[in-house]
Each structure stands twice: as C-alpha cells, then as structure tokens.
Homo-oligomer: A and B are copies of this chain.
Amino acid sequence: MNNLITDVAGVLVGQAQDAGLASGVTAIIFETPAAASIAIHGGAPGVRDTALLEPEMGVGAVDALVLSGGSAFGLDAMGGVQAFLRERGRGYRVRDVVVPIVPGAILFDLANGGDKNWGRRPPYWDLGYAAAEAIAEPLALGTIGAGTGATTATLKGGLGSASALTSAGYTVGAIVAVNAVGSAMIGPGPHFWAAPFENAGEFGGLGLPAPWPADALFLRLKGDQPENTTIAVVATDAALDKAQAKRIAVMAQDGMALALRPAHALPDGDVVFAAATGRHLRPPDRRDLTESGATAATVLARAIARAIYEARALPFADALPSWRDRFAGLKTENR
C-alpha cells in the first residue's frame, strides 16, 4: 500500500502539465472497463460525457476518467485520452469500431498567473494525450497534473491522493484536484479540518489545534465568482454496479464537507466520480457498501489535505504561498 489511488487493483494514473501555462491534466485509466457513476454537489460544475454515468443509462463502464485544469477549455482533455486509448484498441464496441468512454471534469485555473494566450487551439487535448502516455508509479502529488494551477482561499491547492482498506478487505482510494472557494485549514494556522482522519502523519501529523482558534469558523473565501471547484475520483476494487457506484460517490462527497469549509457552494463545481474495478472476489453486501462509502469520504478528506500539504507555490510574483512556505519547520507530532 502506497497510500495512493493506484493501490486499487486495476487503476493507473498519468499526469501532464505545462509550467508556463500553470495548468495540467490527470488521467485515471482503468486496465479493464470499470463501473462508474457521479455525484455533482457543487453549483458550478464543468463536465463531459457524464450523463451516461447515471444508473438508468445503458453504458455500464468507463475506460478512463479525467480531471483537468483549464475551465471549460479543459473539456478537450478527455479527447486526448480517448485518442490514446483508441490507438490501443480500448473502448465500447459498436460492431467493428471502438469508442473509448472517458468522462471527466474540469476546474477553473485561468486567473492564476500562468500564460493563457494559447492562440486558436487550447493545449488541453494534447495535455490529455500526454497525461495518458505518462502513466507512472508512484503517483506524484502536489503542484502537478490537474492540481498544477489549483488554489484555495488562503494557500496553494494541488493534487492529492490517499487509500485505505475496509474491514472486508476492499481497497478504497481517492485522487483529487483541490481548487476550493474556501479553505482546508482551521483558522489561519497549520491545522487541517481533516485532522481527525489523518493516517500516519500523511499531512504533517499536527493533529487538531490547542487552544482552538477563536476564528476557526470565520469563512475564508476567494470570492463569489464561479472560478473554483474540487474534482475527485474515488475507486474501489469491489464489484459494484452503477447504482452502487453512485451511492459511493454521494457518500464520498461528505469528504469535501469534512476537509473544506465551505464545500458545495454556488461558485464551487464540486464533482466526485466513483469507479469500481471489480478485482476483489468477495461480492459486497449492504454493510460493505456502507463501510466503503464512509471510507471513501474519509479517504477523500485525507487526499484533500495531502493535496495542500504536498503543493508548491506557482513561480509568479503574486502567487499564493504553499502550506510548506507558511508552515515548514513546524515540529510534527503524531497524536
């Protein structure tokens, strides 16, 4: 176990980014098609090919899922991943052709200081293709992939991941690009809202603040425009159908509530995909499903904190500081 979504059997991740653009793409590719669904709880979502993820729709599985920067221009990225998969014969078969099924979601990183003067053709299709080509282990976190240009209200955002085992032996992993309108921190200090769920110092081991900050509940917001969004994939090796995957996606959204304040606001496009690779042989019962959903929520909360903990500031004059810029050198203690 590497505490990454790639701990889930059958899940591969590739990433590509452009430092000058200050944006990038993260492609989550399934070795074999995975049952998947979605929960959209934010007020400003940007998605592609997600209607088929509803339980009543006919396509049962996806070949990949894509998280991208670039706001609505980033919806090209899924096309690049499709091209990569088509060259390898992957996709939904319609007579003698294959159509790779690659839903995805974007976040807004157009105002982060990067050079967005890309001319006629946006760079996201090519970044999508490059991400799929760049499948690598171990998966790198922080200012990378779809998290390259991401920010929060007070600190640089980024790309995070985490994993856990359920009591029945299922692996549950999450990957997330954190670009929230709000903050993952309790007050102005170094402590994460996700601290009660932290595993083995994975985001600094500082635990909860003592004394409790007087302004812990003051809302730190970027602004009120639809320029935010936390986008995530949770995956499990359990054999779920699409309806079960949707239940996992809904429960996993609670991880945003546990790690970010606020979550699910009108200017946030918060989206969670849930995918099931079915590699685990034990059929899940209802209790397994509840535990998997609760685990998906805590794993996503941890992945959100790790995204911020691992991020580096963008190299621009007025860029937001990273968690490490602000709080490095603090003595860490495991609670």
What residues of chain A have their CB less than 8 Å away from a CB belonging to chain B? Answer: 41, 43, 181-182, 186, 196-197, 207-208, 210-212, 216-217, 219, 221, 224-225, 247, 250-251, 253-254, 256-258, 261-267, 285-287, 289-291, 293-294, 297-298, 335
Kindly report how many copies of this chain are found in the complex they form together.
Answer: 2
**Within the assembled complex, what's the spacing in Å between the Cα atoms of A197 and B258?**
12
Contact A196 B181, CB 8 Å, known A264-B251, A286-B267, A297-B262: no
**Within the assembled complex, what's the spacing in Å between the Cα atoms of A208 and B253?**
24
A160 to chain B, nearest CB (A): 18
**Within the assembled complex, what's the spacing in Å between the Cα atoms of A302 and B269?**
26
Asked if B43 contacts A335 (CB within 8 A), the reply is no
Among B211, B219, B251, which residue has its beta carbon within 8 angstroms of that of A294? B219
Asked if B216 contacts A181 (CB within 8 A), the reply is no
Contact A293 B262, CB 8 Å, known A216-B196, A286-B267: yes
Q: Which chain B residues border A267 with CB–CB below 8 Å? A: 286, 290
Asked if A251 contacts B224 (CB within 8 A), the reply is no
Q: Which chain B residues border A289 with CB–CB below 8 Å? A: 265-266
Asked if A224 contacts B286 (CB within 8 A), the reply is yes
Q: Which chain B residues border A250 with CB–CB below 8 Å? A: 41, 43, 264
Q: A254-B263, A254-B264, A262-B294 are in contact. List 11 more A-B contacts (CB 8 A).
A: A41-B253, A181-B290, A211-B335, A217-B298, A224-B287, A247-B265, A251-B262, A251-B264, A254-B257, A257-B258, A262-B290
